Structure 1
Amino acid sequence: MKNIKSFILPVLLLCLTIALKQVNHFYPQLAIINTEITSKLLSIVLIISFTWMVIKMLRLIKLGVLGNFDIKKEDNLKSRRVYTQYNILENILIFVVIIVAIGFSLMLFDDVKKLGISLFASAGISTIIIGFAAQKFIGTVLAGIQIAITQPIAIDDVVIVENEWGWIEEINLTYVVVRIWDKRRLIVPTTYFIETPFQNWTRNTADILGTVFIYTDYTMDVKALREELTRLLESTDLWDKEVNVLQVTNATEQTMEVRALMSAKNSPTAWDLRVFIREGLITFIQENYPDALPKTRIDIPEAIEADPLSKEEMMN
C-alpha cells in the first residue's frame, strides 16, 4: 500500500503539468513570465514527472515479482537468483531512463541542440575521445549486465574474495558489496567477478563439506577415533547426516595425519561443526589416549645403554 501511494504522487504531478501546459498553450496571456520560458520549464517538469513515474512503476513491478520469492527461507537458491536479476536489471533500466530524460531535457534548448548536431558531425574524433575516456565505465556497466544474465554470483552467496570470506550483500550496476564475516564490508567493482577467479561456495547448492585435521602418534587407535567422530556428529544438530568419514591421509616420520570429513547444510553451520568436532576429538585423545599425542622419539643403541657414562654424555 505504501508503494502504491508513492506511485500516485508522480502521476498527479504529471497530470498537473500536462494541464498547465495546455493552459499555457491556449491562454498565453495568463503566463506570469515569458510564454516560451514557461513552456520550456513545464516541459522539463513534464519530463521529470514522467521519469519519476516510470522509475516508480519499475520498482512496483519488481516488488510485485519478488513478493512471490522468500529469500529468508533455508532453500533460497532460486529466490536469490531472481532477486539478483531483478535488482541489477532495475538499476540498468533506471540508469537508461535517467540518461534519456536528461537528453530530452537538454534538447529543449537550441544552443544545446546545435552543439549536439556539431558533435554528431565530428563524430569520428569525438567518438574515439569519448570511447577512451569512458571505456572503464562502459566495461563496468557491461559487467553488471553480464552478471545479471550469467549469474556467477547471486544475493547472499558465500564467496571468498581477496582472501576474505563473506556473503554477497548488494549487487549494483557498477560495484558489489561483500559482507565479511567480521561485519566489515568489501566493495568490489563488478568487473572483478568477470575477470578474476574467486570462490563461490553456494553456486548451485548451499550444503558444503567440512574437514578437520588431527595429528597423532602412531600408537593412536584409529578405529576408536572413528567411532568417537560418529558419536560427536550424532550428538549435534549441526550435522546434516550426509557425510561422516575419518581417514589417515598422511604419515610423516613423527606423526600421522587424520582427516575427519563431515557435511553441513551451509557454510556458517559447517564452520561451527568443524570447531565442535576438532575440540571433541582433541578432548577424546587427551582423556583416553594421552600417549598418542604427537611426540619426538630418541632411539638409544644397546651399546650406549650398557655404558652409563656414554649415556650420560649423550643426554648432556
Structure 2
Amino acid sequence: MAEHWYRSTLTELSTTIAWLPPSVASTIILIVVAFIALVSGGAITGILPLLPGLRRIPLIRDVAFSLKNHVRVLMMLLALIAALPVMQGYSDATLYTLSRSFACLFILTLGFGLIRAFRLGVNKYRDRITRLKGTEDISARSHQTQIRVLHRLGEFTFGVIVVATALMMFPAVRQYGVSLFASAGAASLVIGLSARTVFSNLIAGIQIAFTQPIRIEDMLILNGDWAWVEEINATYVVLRTWDRRRYIVPISWFLENPFQNWTHSAPSLVGTVMLALDYHADISAVRRIFDEEIEKCPGWDGDRGNTACQVTDINTHSINIRMIAATVNAGMMWNMCCALRERMLTRLRAEMPECLPRGRTALVSAEPGEAPWPDRLISPPVNRPETGPWTGPDITRKSA
C-alpha cells in the first residue's frame, strides 16, 4: 500500500513537470527524493533517543548518534531504488546500471553500519568489564584479549563478505569471482602464496585469543625494552614502551619466537636493588633500615614473604647486598626500586657512613717486623655523628 502511494506520488510529480525533457525531469525527481530521504533519516535518528522510555537508555542514544549517517544514506538509497521503476527518459542500460549501483551502495552501507554497531556494543561490554574487575585482574585482561582479537577477526571476515557481496551485483565482477574461485591454475597458486602471510597472521590471531601467551597490558621484554601490550589486532600487535615508542609486531611472531612475559600469571613482580657496601657494615643494622624504608616506598604490596635483604657476594673491596621486594604491578616496579635505592643511600650516609665502600692502601716496608707506613692508610678514619639511632659498636678509630 505504501509502495503504491509512493509511486503514485512520483508519477503525479512527473506529470507536473512534464514540460521538461523526460531525462531531466527524472533526474530532478531523484534529487528531490534523495534530499527528502536524507532529511527524514536525520529527523528519525534525532527524535528516537528523545522518546519516552528510551531517554534513560544510554546505549540507544549512542547507537543513534553513531549510526545517524548510515541511517540517512540507507533511507536515501531505499527511496531511490523504489523510485527508479517510474522514472522515464532513461535507457534500459542506464536504469540497469543505476539500480545495480544503488543496490551495491545499499549493501555496503548496511554491512558497515552493522560492523559499526557491533563495534559499539563490544566497546560498551569491554568498558563494563573494566569497571567491574579493574585493569589488573588477570581474568578481566584474558577476557578482554579474547573479545578484542575475535572482534577484529569477525570485523575483517564480515567486511570481506560485505564487499564481495556488493561487488557481485555486477555481472562482470561475478563472473570474474566465480572463475577465480573455480580456477586451479597458476593464478590461484600465485594468489594463495601472496596471501600466505595474511592467513598465517589470521590463524595466529585465533591461537592468541584462545591460548593467550600475551594479553592486553601484559609487560613484555622485546629487544631489551620493557613494553606493554597496547593493542592486539587481527594481524599485528602494538607494544608501548616506557618512553612512549610503539613496536608494531606481526601477531605470528609471538608464536614463532621466544619472548619474556613478566605478567603472564600475575600482575605482581619482584624488584631487585643491589648495594655495594664496606666490610665494616653492620648487616643487621642495614637490614633494620631496609625493613623501615621499604614500607615507605610507593608500589610495595606489603608481602613480607617476598621481601628480603641478603649478602649475595663479596670481593676484595666490598660486599654486595641484594634487596628484593614485590610490587603491586609491573608499572610500579621501577619506581619502587628507585625510591628504595635513594632512601637506603640517604639513611646509610647519615647514620652509618662507615658502610660506604672505600679503597684501602698500605705501604709495607721491606724490613721484616716493621709496621706498614703510614698507619692511617690501613683504615681511613670515619667521623661518625655524635648522636643517631644506630647503637652498634664503634668499629672505627678516632683520628689523631
Is the pair's TM-score, using the shorter chain for normalization, greater than 0.5?
A: yes
| Equivalent residue in structure 1 for 2:175, among 109, 114, 123 | 114
**Structure with the greater relative contact order (CA < 8 A, sep ≥ 6): 1 or 2?**
1
Mark the runs of 5 or more structure 1 residues left unpaired by the alignment: none
Structure 1 contact 207–267 (Cα < 8 Å) conserved: yes
**2:332 is aligned with 1:272:** no
Structure-1 separation of matches of 2:267 and 2:187: 49
Name the SS for the 1:152 alignment partner: coil
- Pairing partner for 2:283 from 200, 210, 222: 222
Percent of aligned pairs sharing the same letter: 31
Which aligned pairs between 1:74-113 and structure 2 lie closer than 5 A? 75-113=136-174
- TM-score, normalisation: structure 2: 0.69
Considering only aligned residues, what root-mean-square deviation do their CA atoms show, in Å? 2.9
Distance in 1 (alpha carbons) for counterparts of 2:312 and 2:146? 43
* Structure 2 gap segments, 5+ residues each: 1-60, 378-400
Q: What is the 5 A alignment of 1:174-189?
A: 174-189=235-250
Instruction: Specify which of 126, 130, 136 is matched with residue 70 of structure 1.
Output: 130
Structure 1 residue 74 displacement after superposition? 5.7
Q: Deviations over 1:35-92 (max 9, x none)?
A: 2112111211121122122212311321342242126936443333333222222221
2:116 is matched by which residue type in structure 1?
A: K
Q: In structure 2, what is the equivalent of residue 247 of structure 1?
A: 310
- Normalising by structure 1, we get a TM-score of 0.86
User: Is the Cα contact below 8 Å between 1:305 and 1:311 reproduced in 2?
Assistant: no
Letter paired with 2:308: V
How many angstroms apart in 1 are the aligned matches of 2:62 and 2:257? 41
Counterpart of 1:155?
216
Residue 121 to residue 173, structure 1, CA distance change in 2 (3 Å): closer
What count of residue pairs does the alignment treat as equivalent?
311
Question: Larger radius of gyration, structure 1 or 2?
Answer: 2
Aligned counterpart in structure 1 of residue 319 of structure 2, from 240, 249, 256: 256
C-alpha separation in 2, matches of 1:191 and 1:244: 38
2-structure distance, mates of 1:120, 1:84: 34
C-alpha distance in structure 2 between counterparts of 1:234 and 1:276, whole Å: 11
Matched, 1:21 2:81: yes
Query: 1:44 and 2:107 equivalent?
Result: no
CA distance in 1 between counterparts of 2:325 and 2:159 reads 51
Distance apart, 1:164 and its partner CA: 0.9
- 2:310·2:321 contact (CA, 8 Å) conserved in 1? yes
Mean alpha-carbon deviation: is it higher for 48-57 or for 277-286?
A: 277-286
Tell me the CA shift for residue 139 of structure 1: 1.4
Q: Matched residues in 2 for 1:175 and 1:183: separation?
A: 18
* Equivalent residues of 2:364, 2:373 under 8 A apart: no
Structure-1 separation of matches of 2:215 and 2:252: 15
SS for the counterpart of 1:68 is: helix
Contact in 2 for aligned 1:140/1:190 (Cα 8 Å): yes
